[in-house]
Homo-oligomer: A and B are copies of this chain.
Amino acid sequence: MKFHKVEGGITAAQGFLAAGTHCGIKKNKRDLALVFSETPSAAAGVYTQNRVQAAPVIVSREHLVGGLARAILCNSGSANACTGEQGLHDARRMTELAAKALGIAAKEIVVASTGVIGEYLPMEVLEKGIPEIAGQLSRDGGREAAEAIMTTDLALKECAFRLVIGGQSVTVGGMAKGSGMIYPNMATMLAFITTDAAIAPELLAKALRYTVNRSYNLITVDGNTSTNDMAVALANGAAGNQTIITESEDYHRFLALLQRVNTELAQKIVRDGEGATKFIELTVKRAPSYAAGKVMAMGILNSTLVKTAFFGADANWGRILSAMGQTDIEFYPERVDVFLGELQVARAGQGLRFDEARAKEILKNKDIKLTVDLKMGGETVTAWGTDLSHDYVSINASYRS
């Protein structure tokens, strides 16, 4: 399929407005984002599987039960997690404030928060900030909204792609945040997707879950699953395509388009991983199942020893095999081949006398392709991760204070 990359992100699709402002949760930076659909939208969400769930995750899940929503309100600077009844009250109050300002029902608002865990939201600044941001919505506000959801992120994350579906040009765009505490588990960091496709809520939910599993759920920065992970998609039908109500060819085209956007955003999160100096694309070949290949990929990408070896540009492939052996997946170590880029460093579980200078050269690149061939089954899984650097330690030794 030929996707057409377009400018912008969360407002690239027709009928969506956004804004991003500084309301006062953070000292200087933008800390509040609002996304709004001019017409009613189908909506779906996927949430963190962490047992500790932030208040906005609980409230947004309640609101999305019916598969409809028109706005997404997100603050950065405070996660509103581990805040008990007060936190739930605050999250609900945020939706009420936005509903009043937008002239819609509170139930039509998705609410999200990201930042420090365990602190209460400064509601006084939100009481003032939410009505204000509602007056700033525009077709050009996508970039500022994407900026307002950042925490330790150094790079703003947005993208959009277009594809003809059912004879109409359909756009899917989105924005995401995430840099540390990244190991999405059946969920994601914050990712917000808008589309002008016309699609039934239950199929939007199905497509979102499928593509999240094959994008955000295939990345890791540090093996830590957040309490606030959430991916939400709104589809307002403004493209005018015939509404997708079955798993037709149109559905599969939409699925591919949504996948394209989610994969792009997921990779942007890894590229901006806290302290990361490398972007590692790991392909596990001939896995016995997709699930097994994924567990193995994550076992490798989460190993602190594998990650520090990449940081040091050291072709320490023994650590890769050891990390694989530590997972609960049955495999045959004596079959495994390991490749750094095109350079094979291990065959049938044993080291080759490879060219160390060539390996060093490959490992000094920012983008590194790593391939592990299990020689067992027919599934291939590609996942993305980072190295572990001094900067990761520095960033996280002083995040709260």
Which residues of A are interface residues toward B (Cβ below 8 A)? 50-53, 79, 81-84, 86, 116-119, 180-181, 183, 185, 222-227, 302-305, 308-309, 311-312, 314-319, 321-327, 330-331, 333-334, 346, 348-351, 388-390, 392-401
Main SS of the interface on chain A? Answer: loop
Q: How many copies does the complex hold?
A: 2
Pick the contact of A389: B50, B322, B331, B393 (CB < 8 A).
Answer: B393
Sampled A-B contacts (30; CB under 8 Å): A50-B326, A51-B326, A51-B327, A51-B331, A51-B333, A52-B324, A52-B349, A82-B346, A82-B349, A116-B316, A116-B318, A117-B318, A118-B321, A180-B305, A181-B322, A224-B304, A224-B305, A304-B304, A308-B395, A308-B396, A309-B396, A309-B397, A309-B399, A309-B400, A311-B397, A312-B397, A314-B398, A316-B399, A390-B393, A393-B393
Pick the contact of A401: B303, B312, B396 (CB < 8 A).
Answer: B312
With A and B bound together, what is the CA distance between A53 and B333 in angstroms?
A: 9
With A and B bound together, what is the CA distance between A398 and B309 in angstroms?
A: 7
Determine if A322 and B392 form an interchain contact, defined as CB atoms under 8 angstroms apart. Answer: no
B residues near A392, Cβ cutoff 8 Å: 304, 308, 393
B residues near A224, Cβ cutoff 8 Å: 303-305, 319, 322-323, 326
Determine if A330 and B222 form an interchain contact, defined as CB atoms under 8 angstroms apart. Answer: no
B residues near A394, Cβ cutoff 8 Å: 390
